[in-house]
Structures are given as structure tokens and as C-alpha cells.
Amino acid sequence: MDPKGQRVKLNDGHFIPVLGFGTAEAKEVPKSEALEVTKFAIEVGFRHIDCAHVYQNEEHIGQAIRSKIADGTVKREDIFYTSKLWCTFLRPELVRPALEKSLKNLHLDYVDLYIIHFPLAMKPGEELLPKDENGKLIGDSVDLCHTWEALEKCKDAGLAKSIGVSNFNHKQLEKILNKPGLKYKPVCNQGELESPCSLGGLSSLCHCQKAQANPSSGCPSLPDTTWGCCSGQELQQEADQREHTGV
């Protein structure tokens, strides 16, 4: 069987394709190329499209999806679309507006999966990577449990069918799972194959909670996707450092 057509059941009853098409791009690649590449990915059988606000190409990805729906290649329900909540929107009151902005760019009514991109809160605003005069990231004080409650409300509102996390370590994931009044467990913890937090001991925790530990990897030609001058691994290290120091 073609692996692009295989699906696994999430802990909330929805099904996710086991193989997804990632849409992060190197800085030098024009955002418009995401349109044609994503259309081709759908044509050859990919049904899980993985994107994020920080990639800054959701408008083109949405156009590609709608194009393939319009020409009869797929129906909306055939596509599993993942988007991610960026670090500058982790305050609870910013979560739904951030998702609604993605949906507006995509021209879609809902996403199939919405996940917290990194467990690292940064100063809200237009800058994706807000920094001080010394070039250091400007953090924000946010309880991720409150962020998770806002995601639960997005699921209840029908804006996201499933909700999960990404790049969470064991302690961070347990904090959500042990939260008083937890309504929905994360359906997944997505992480880069190269990341120190991605799998390892997390696999057993995810297994017992019936959450998917989703390894991801960029295109072979893009070994280190960057946003501005920070890589995903650098952001993960920053998140871990803040957790340990309480900063």
C-alpha cells in the first residue's frame, strides 16, 4: 500500500495520514513556489499538508489546496491540514485570533490539526522573533496550561478538529496532561528527528496517553530550516533553558 494513503487513529477519534508533506522553505526560496510544489504534492498522493504561521506561506498553501479541490483531484475532507500556533501568540487571548488569521489566509473553515509550535513564549507583536538591542530573544510570561485551554476552546468552536503540541519535552508534556480540568489530551507531540526532545523517552509517555509522537524532517536539501537567524533547534534550546532557569 502507498504509505501516503495510510492513516492512524488519533486519541480523539480522528485519523491522520502517516506521511505528511512539509512546507517549510529556506529563506532564499520565493514563497510563491509553495503554490506549485504543494499542488504537485497533492497530485502525487500526499493528503497531509503540514504548515505553520511562521513559514509565512499559508496563503499560497491554501491556494494550492483550493485549486486541487476545484479541479476535482480531492475533496476538502480528503486533505488533512496541520497549522501551528507561533510563539508570539501563546497568550490565551491571542490563540483564537491567530488561528482565525491562518484560516483567513488559507480561505478554509477549519484546520484538521492545530498545535503549539514551541513551548517558548515570546513578546507579542508583528515580529516573528522579537529581540532586544543585544540580539537576545524577548520572552513573555505565559502559563502553557492556559494556552492549552484556549486551544481546547478552538476545538469546541469547530475551528480545529484536533489539537496537539510540538517540540515539547517530557516535563512540558506532563504539565499539560496533568492539568486540572483537562478537557482534551494532545493528540500528538511533533518534533524534528534531529531535535533532542523529539522522541527518546517521550515515546513511552505518548504511548500510554495514546498520543502520537510524530517525527518530522525537512527536505533533504533544507537540513536546517531557519526563521530570521534562529533555527528550530536553537529555539528548542532556548525553551529548555528558560524552563530550567525560570526566566
SS (H, E, C) 96-162: HHHHHHHHHHHCCCCEEEEEECCCCCECCCCCCCCECCCCCECECCCCHHHHHHHHHHHHHCCCEEE
Q: Does residue 55 have an active-site annotation?
A: yes
Per annotation, catalytic residue among 55, 110, 114, 184: 55
Within 13 A of 50's CA, how many CA atoms are on the CB side? 21
So which residues are the catalytic ones?
55
